[in-house]
Amino acid sequence: MKTNPPLPMGYSELPRGKLANVVTCLEMRERPEVNVPASGALRFERWRAPALDDYRRLFREVGENWLWLSRLIMDDDELGAILHHPDVEIYVILSEEGRRIGLLELDFRQPGECELVFCGLVADAIGQGAGKLLITQAVARAWARPINRFWLHTCHFDHPSAISFYQKAGFKPYGFLVEVVDDPRLSGHIPETAAPHVPLLRP
């Protein structure tokens, strides 16, 4: 992950229309004991070579309220090169009715490592046990390959329980970053009504 020089101590002013995102980086260095819960009526399955529009639709549904942006600003060639790469694995959780309600993306392109790129549920599936199924499957699938590090980063725009959720799964925090981005609600990539917990300040 490319970074800039450290920020100075104290407060740094940010122009209106920008967002400062405090990122927590977490990792696990050895495979933990994994007990994947029974899925019940849910189904966890590999999503091979997803159609780009289908992927973007689920990405929005899962991540819009947490200001997930990166996949929405990629063109088809860039996004397809990632999603269809043999060392990128994408999984979904399907409801009893066959609706996609969870998204998991694992990136093994760096030798010896796996990045948990995205892990999330649609809003109406949160708090019903699907998250535990998603994260335990993530750990099991990651360590099924010969890796020595499984890592992720999450941010303070995410669900308030995100960090503790990952820690319970065996990840340990190892660093902080600050990311400054244009507010995607002003560019039209995400609706202005999304993420009401993050104030929208127009330039």
Residue 10, Ramachandran bin (φ over 0: left; ψ between -120 and 50: alpha; else beta):
left
CA distance linking residue 132 with residue 148, whole number of Å: 23
CATH fold of 34-184, please? Answer: Aminopeptidase (3.40.630)
- Identity of residue 192: E
CA distance linking residue 110 with residue 63, whole number of Å: 25
Residues 34, 140 contacting (CB under 8 angstroms): yes
Q: Residues 6 or more apart from 189 whose CB is under 8 A from it?
A: 69, 72, 73
Taking the domains of the chain in order of start, what are their residue ranges?
34-184
Residues 186, 17 contacting (CB under 8 angstroms): yes
CA distance linking residue 148 with residue 159, whole number of Å: 28
Could you tell me where the beta strands, DSSP code E, fall in 29-125? Answer: 43-46, 88-94, 100-107, 113-121
Per-residue pLDDT of the chain (203 residues; tens, 9 = 90+): 788 888 899 999 999 999 999 999 999 999 998 888 777 889 999 999 999 999 999 999 999 999 999 999 999 999 999 999 999 999 999 999 999 999 999 999 999 999 999 999 999 999 888 999 999 999 999 999 999 999 999 999 999 899 999 999 999 999 999 999 999 999 999 999 999 999 999 99
